[in-house]
């Protein structure tokens, strides 16, 4: 009888080793897939020439700027890039300490958009725009400064996320294309 218990223990241990090994392999494969998704394969940066997509990106930036102007914290947290939020430890209490504030008469004039295909239907757009102040007493716009954004767009659903960029981050992505 003791021999059967010993053989049962061996079978149980063998099965346990197989299950644990399988779980470890699955975890490793999943973590590699997530890493690949985060890093992405940003192969080719091209200037965006599709006017409809340009308007979609412009709308995403306008939505962001509008939510910053009117301090819509909930909506900003929904549209901000999750990596940007995580890296900057953004929460509802400190969001406006981190994000640049815009006066109510500031607008963003989108100038350049560069596209990178990340996945089947996910594209990342690096944008350069001019922050301008609308002067309602005349038809003039006063240039404030250049601003940069990264907009990630799901082409199927048109859902987007956005992250402000520094000029250095922008130039590291688009390189010599932005002349």
For residue 164 the two structure tokens come to 């402000």
Q: Domain 46-177 is of which CATH architecture?
A: Roll (3.10)
In whole angstroms, give the CA distance from residue 68 to residue 81.
15
* Helix, strand or coil, per DSSP, at residue 126: strand
* Helix, strand or coil, per DSSP, at residue 88: coil
Q: What is the DSSP letter of 100?
A: P
The per-residue pLDDT for 33 is 43
Q: Hey, how many other C-beta atoms are within 10 angstroms of the C-beta on 70?
A: 11
In whole angstroms, give the CA distance from residue 151 to residue 61.
8
> pLDDT by residue for the chain (179 residues), tens digit each?
455 566 777 777 766 667 666 666 656 555 444 433 444 444 577 888 888 889 999 999 999 998 998 889 999 999 999 999 999 999 999 999 999 888 778 888 899 999 987 777 888 999 999 988 887 776 778 888 999 999 999 888 888 999 999 989 998 888 766 65
Helix residue ranges, H only, the chain: 2-39, 51-69, 73-79, 82-87, 95-98, 167-174
Contact between 84 and 90 under an 8 Å Cβ cutoff? The reply is yes
**Region class of 113: left (phi > 0), else alpha (psi between -120 and 50), else beta:** beta
**Region class of 71: left (phi > 0), else alpha (psi between -120 and 50), else beta:** left
Confidence (pTM): 0.72
């Amino acid at each position: 009888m003791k021999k059967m218990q010993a053989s049962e223990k061996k079978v149980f241990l063998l099965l346990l080793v197989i299950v644990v090994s399988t779980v470890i392999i699955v975890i490793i494969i999943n973590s590699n897939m997530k890493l690949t998704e985060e890093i992405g394969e940003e192969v080719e940066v091209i200037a965006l020439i599709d006017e409809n997509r340009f308007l979609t990106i412009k709308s995403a930036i306008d939505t962001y700027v509008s939510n910053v102007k009117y301090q819509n914290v909930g909506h900003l947290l929904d549209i901000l890039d999750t990596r940007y939020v995580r890296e900057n430890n953004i929460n509802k209490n400190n969001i406006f300490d981190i994000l640049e504030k815009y006066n109510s008469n500031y607008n963003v004039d989108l100038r350049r958009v560069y596209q990178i295909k990340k996945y089947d239907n996910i594209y990342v757009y690096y944008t350069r725009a001019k922050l301008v102040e609308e002067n309602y007493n005349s038809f003039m716009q006063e240039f404030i400064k250049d601003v940069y954004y990264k907009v990630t767009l799901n082409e199927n659903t048109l859902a987007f996320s956005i992250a402000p960029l520094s000029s250095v981050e922008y130039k590291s992505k688009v390189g010599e294309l932005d002349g």
